[in-house]
Amino acid sequence: MNIVITEKTKLFIHEKYNSQVTIHCVIDGG
């Protein structure tokens, strides 16, 4: 599943999970 990670998406994920590590896992793991 290809997702374009935009700055807005990063902010959304950061607010939702409140974890930089989780963001990397989401990006790396798809």
Q: What is the pLDDT of residue 22?
A: 61
Tens place of pLDDT for every residue, the chain, 30 residues?
A: 466 778 888 788 777 776 556 656 666 654
Enclosing domain of residue 3: 1-30
Number of domains the chain contains = 1
Half-sphere exposure of 23 (CA within 13 A, CB side): 15
Q: DSSP string covering the chain, please?
A: ------HHHHHHHHHHH--HHHHHHHHHH-
Q: What is the pLDDT of residue 11?
A: 80
Q: What is the pLDDT of residue 23?
A: 59
What pTM value is reported for the model?
0.36
Contact 23, 14 (CB under 8 A): yes
Q: How far apart are CA 2 and CA 20, in angstroms?
A: 20
